[in-house]
């Protein structure tokens, strides 16, 4: 190489390698984020209760905004009016959540409840509650409630912080027919006091 010639610059190559590395790290982080939140789906094919509140399918996942999203599908159309009671206790649809990994859900009540109830004949209300057992459940925050286009599914969304940000939860779902306190008016999924696990992070 002559004294007047210049050595090709290595800077573009270094910048390109650094950019590729950054992209790879971003993709790896995205993959880890997705891997932490697999969707949990299970079905409840047996008819346990009369009326539209018989559970058929449950889906739980983490939404793109970081909230937990639960989709609960029923045999019939469920509206706010479906949950109103003319007498007796109101109807409800609740996720029963155990945030403590060391307790046995078969012997301990859930420490969190995420429920949809009726505010009026036309409006559903969602909430997250702490369930200590000593008193009535204490409301910790809101949960958004939406119905599917066919009216047979209710979608609840709630923050991880309302659960105390555990790494892993166990959960079950329960629907209660309004105006009735008998076990035959309650549908639980999964069956036989079973629960499902869901990893948040």
Contact 83, 90 (CB under 8 A): yes
- Domain hosting 21: range is 9-38
Q: Give a yes or no: residue 1 inside a domain.
A: no
Q: Please tell me whether residues 26 and 107 are part of one structural domain.
A: no
Cβ(40)–Cβ(46) under 8 Å? Answer: no
What tokens appear for 45 in the block? 């094919």
Same domain flag for 72 and 23 = no
- Joined tokens for residue 113: 């409840």
Residues 56 and 66 in one domain: yes
The answer to whether residues 146 and 67 belong to one domain is yes
Residues 6+ apart with CB under 8 A from 199: 36, 37, 38, 167, 168
Are 73 and 145 in a shared domain?
A: yes
Q: Verify that 65 and 143 share a domain, yes or no.
A: yes
Q: What is the largest CA-CA distance in the chain?
A: 99
Please count the other Cβ atoms lying within 10 Å of the Cβ belonging to residue 80: 19
Q: Which of 19, 14, 93, 15 is nearest to 52 (CA)?
A: 93
22 and 104 both lie in a single domain: no
Same domain, 15 and 61: no
Look up the pTM and report it.
Answer: 0.80
What SS3 state is found at 36? Answer: coil
114 phi/psi in degrees, rounded to 5: -120, 115
What total number of domains does the chain contain? 2
For residue range 164-196, list pLDDT tens digits in order.
999 999 999 999 999 988 888 999 999 878 999
Q: What is the pLDDT of residues 63-100, one digit of tens each?
A: 999 999 999 999 999 999 999 998 989 999 999 999 99
In a domain, 65, yes or no: yes
- Helix locations, 36-151, DSSP H: 80-83
Q: Quick check: is 4 in a domain?
A: no
């Amino acid at each position: 190489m002559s004294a007047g010639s210049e050595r090709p610059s290595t800077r573009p190559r270094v910048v390109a390698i650094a950019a590729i590395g950054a992209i790879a790290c971003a993709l790896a982080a995205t993959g880890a984020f997705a891997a932490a939140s697999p969707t949990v789906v299970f079905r409840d094919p047996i008819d346990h209760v009369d009326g539209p509140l018989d559970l058929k399918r449950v889906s739980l996942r983490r939404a793109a905004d970081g909230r937990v999203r639960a989709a609960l599908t029923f045999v019939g159309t469920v509206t706010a009016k479906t949950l109103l009671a003319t007498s007796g206790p109101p109807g409800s649809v609740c996720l029963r959540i155990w945030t403590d990994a060391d307790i046995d859900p078969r012997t301990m009540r859930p420490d969190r409840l995420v429920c949809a109830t009726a505010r009026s004949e036309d409006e559903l209300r969602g909430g997250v509650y702490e369930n200590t057992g000593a008193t009535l459940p204490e409301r910790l925050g809101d949960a958004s409630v939406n119905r599917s286009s066919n009216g047979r599914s209710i979608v609840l969304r709630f923050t991880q912080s309302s659960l105390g940000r555990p790494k892993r939860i166990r959960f079950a779902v329960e629907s209660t027919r309004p105006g009735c306190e008998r076990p035959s008016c309650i549908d639980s999924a999964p069956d036989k006091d079973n629960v499902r696990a869901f990893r948040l992070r």
